Structure 1
């Protein structure tokens, strides 16, 4: 497969998954706040700011907004085109990647993505976001579900599918860790106490679409130990970190042809090591060493997998052979170049 085709398919699905996760996060937290009208403006800011911190976009947000209230955070994550990771920007970039590889996609898949793109850029979409945000985010989520369903039903299980599936699970695992990390940035008085059911843990489960599955396998209300265990180490729930990393490892080995348990490139090496850590790790160890530290290190490994994937399959092989390996300290420049290509 051509490297540009693989790259476009990979990022197309990553952007769709990103839009879905952000829509879920905003919708869930917005609805929960309606049940906590007693929160004053200061506590509202304390509730929304951690969401920005967990996404890693605090620098860009502070450059664009002076306040971190509900309206500012929601706009930044939803339809601010200056934010390359907003819902509107993600869908636009997904469509642009799909446009470049239309011959690899079914007609139904392209039509669904194009319809979603037209909706978010239409006057009707703007009015719906203003008048009924819940329906707006629900429309986006249902469209992304339909997109994934059409892809699963119409894409041959070849390299194209493996790159698409890889992008979906890498983005999904990253967002699960970031949603869990929200509690790390809450003010001390807002941090849920161990064993205490609070709307924060319920919001995290709902943001990951995990509340129903959690209740089916756990008795009692959500608490830190059970939520962390479920969203990180579950082998059955499709949005848990462990489940996603297992799929990432499988996708990488199907692309390269190397047997699982071995590695032929650094992306497979990092993914295999991370899968081993998750397979033999425990919630007690994570909480004892610090949840934020564990999540931060895991996110770095996801970034490393993405960078090594780009180095192995997107950069020209001749260029790789003609010059020494790119130092890790310079990988940010490679990622910046990649994002510039995507924007163009």
Structure 2
């Protein structure tokens, strides 16, 4: 497969996963807004911080307001990571590789594109419209994931697509957990309070982990939640589970399951092993924020290594 085509498939899936994550984060925050004391900055700033786009938000807006944050994350044309831009970029990538995807996948991406385009054109959005929009994006992306899995042959293209989705998913899980620990809780005195528990429950719901967590652990405890989202091998949105499945994609693409044959396989395998051979007490002792920050840096390195190992190969030939 040409490096250009592989790169396009990879990023198409990253953009779709990013759009779905943003829709989920904002939808959960609406529910949280009804239960928490009024503090707009405390509630809405972390959503922007999750994306890493806080400096851009500050350039465009003076205050942290609910409507401005939602518009910035959902529809802002100047925000390259807004839901609108993610869906537009995913569609452009899909159009470029139309022969490599199925009719069902292409039509569903088009459906998402026209959905977000229509909502972006609206001059005014009330809460009901926004909740429906976020649900439509979540359901539309999840429907697309099902179509992708059910209609695409398990060839190199499928593996590059899943690899992009899983790297993006691991990154967003690490970010949402880091923001809760680092920004949401206003005072150490609130640890274990009803406010603290509401925030932890919202965090689990934002990554669709609430039901599976309660089934495994029962009570809401910060250490157990961190363990579930970082180290659980069975939950599909935990960081370790994403890395385990991403490694299988890398192995199939590299053609080698022993050692490593490229820098992407080496870096991904090293991070996966780091998580496999640690426990939550070690992580907390080192500092949860510092540990998650290190994971994010390594995921960025893995993304760069994936590009160097697979997508820039044609440049090396020349």
| TM bracket (short chain) | over 0.9
Unmatched segments (≥5 aa) in structure 2: none
- Which residue number in structure 2 is paired with residue 305 of structure 1? 302
TM-score by length of 1: 0.87
The alpha carbon displacement at 1:120 in A equals 1.0
CA distance 1:107–1:129, shift in 2 (3 Å): farther
- Which residue number in structure 2 is paired with residue 91 of structure 1? 87
> Which of 38, 44, 52 in structure 1 is aligned with 2:40?
44
Moved over 4 A (4+): 194-197
Separation in 2 of the partners of 1:246 and 1:168?
13
Separation in 1 of the partners of 2:300 and 2:289?
16
Separation in 1 of the partners of 2:189 and 2:18?
26
Separation in 2 of the partners of 1:228 and 1:35?
23
Determine which structure has greater relative contact order: mean sequence separation of CA pairs < 8 Å that are 6+ residues apart, divided by chain length: 2
Separation in 1 of the partners of 2:189 and 2:296?
22
1:87-107 deviations in Å (ceiling 9; x for gaps): 111000000000000001110
The alpha carbon displacement at 1:185 in A equals 2.1
- Which residue number in structure 2 is paired with residue 150 of structure 1? 147
Separation in 2 of the partners of 1:275 and 1:244?
9
> Which of 271, 277, 282 in structure 2 is aligned with 1:280?
277
Unmatched segments (≥5 aa) in structure 1: 323-344
CA distance 1:164–1:208, shift in 2 (3 Å): same
- Which residue number in structure 1 is paired with residue 164 of structure 2? 167
Q: Which moved more, 1:71-80 or 1:12-21?
A: 71-80
The alpha carbon displacement at 1:209 in A equals 0.4
Separation in 2 of the partners of 1:253 and 1:189?
45
Separation in 2 of the partners of 1:72 and 1:182?
20
After superposition, residues 315-326 of structure 1 pair within 5 angstroms as 315-317=312-314, 319-320=315-316
CA contact (8 A) 1:129 1:136 kept: no
The alpha carbon displacement at 1:85 in A equals 0.4
CA distance 1:123–1:254, shift in 2 (3 Å): closer
The alpha carbon displacement at 1:189 in A equals 2.0
Separation in 1 of the partners of 2:81 and 2:290?
24
